[in-house]
């Protein structure tokens, strides 16, 4: 039973990754041909799965309960988000992403990872490099990423930086006990 649960978690995550990277669409009977059609219609800008298919998948797997955001730049920053409104907004922003063709340009110190955790404990992971989807070591052109990035930035500014300012204030104005004989 345990192996079955692990397999189902991996299969669900793989399926959602395939959809986001444009490998198949859930609402079409023949996913491969629909994607090939989209590719041949517009080869310059790549292709994308319509937001309707991603909405169907999101409804099927449920909504995440927690999001862990990891930013690997010049410094390593992590933020755990449990605010339902922010997590749902990020999931909705993911559904509007347009994944395009494979690109050769790679960058360092510009990685971002989103780990969505669901009620059943399964985790859905997406990685980006300079705003482009990173999957199996290959980068794909991505449009609409700035909206997702802005949601994280707004949450971070409201919550995390506030906690840091409070902590700084506590440290700065902490009373230091006087040591007798040193004054």
- Residue 155 forms part of a structural domain: yes
Instruction: Quote the percentage of the chain above a pLDDT of 70.
Output: 52
Comparing C-alpha atoms, which of 112, 119, 105, 108 is closest to residue 150? 112
- Residue 75 forms part of a structural domain: yes
Range of the domain at 79: 2-172
- Per-residue model confidence (pLDDT) at position 22: 45
- Per-residue model confidence (pLDDT) at position 164: 55
- Residue 179 forms part of a structural domain: no
- Residue 183 forms part of a structural domain: no
- Residue 132 forms part of a structural domain: yes
How many folded domains does the chain comprise? 1
Could you say which DSSP state residue 159 is in? I
Q: Per residue in 127-183, pLDDT tens?
A: 888 888 888 888 888 888 888 888 888 887 777 655 555 555 455 555 555 555 544
112: which residues sit within 8 A by CB, 6+ positions away? 69, 70, 71, 72, 127, 128, 129, 149
| Cα–Cα dist 11/175, whole Å | 55
Q: Per residue in 93-122, pLDDT tens?
A: 888 888 888 888 777 777 888 888 988 888
Residue 34 has pLDDT above 50, yes or no: no
- Per-residue model confidence (pLDDT) at position 173: 53
- Residue 181 forms part of a structural domain: no
- Per-residue model confidence (pLDDT) at position 29: 34
- Residue 63 forms part of a structural domain: yes
- Residue 99 forms part of a structural domain: yes
């Amino acid at each position: 039973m345990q192996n079955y649960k692990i397999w189902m978690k991996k299969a669900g995550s793989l399926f959602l990754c395939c959809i986001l990277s444009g490998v198949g669409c859930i609402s079409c009977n023949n996913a491969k041909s629909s994607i090939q059609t989209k590719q041949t219609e517009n080869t310059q800008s790549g292709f994308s799965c319509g937001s309707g298919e991603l909405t169907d998948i999101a409804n099927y797997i449920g909504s995440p309960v927690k999001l862990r955001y990891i930013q690997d730049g010049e410094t390593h920053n992590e933020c755990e988000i449990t605010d339902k409104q922010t997590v749902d907004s990020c999931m909705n922003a993911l559904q509007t992403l347009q994944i395009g063709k494979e690109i050769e340009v790679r960058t360092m110190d510009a990685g971002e990872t989103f780990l969505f955790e669901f009620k059943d404990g399964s985790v859905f992971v997406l990685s980006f490099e300079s705003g482009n989807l990173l999957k199996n070591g290959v980068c794909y052109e991505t449009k609409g990423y700035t909206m997702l990035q802005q949601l994280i930035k707004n949450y971070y500014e409201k919550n995390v930086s506030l906690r840091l300012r409070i902590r700084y204030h506590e440290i700065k104005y902490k009373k230091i006990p006087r040591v007798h004989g040193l004054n």
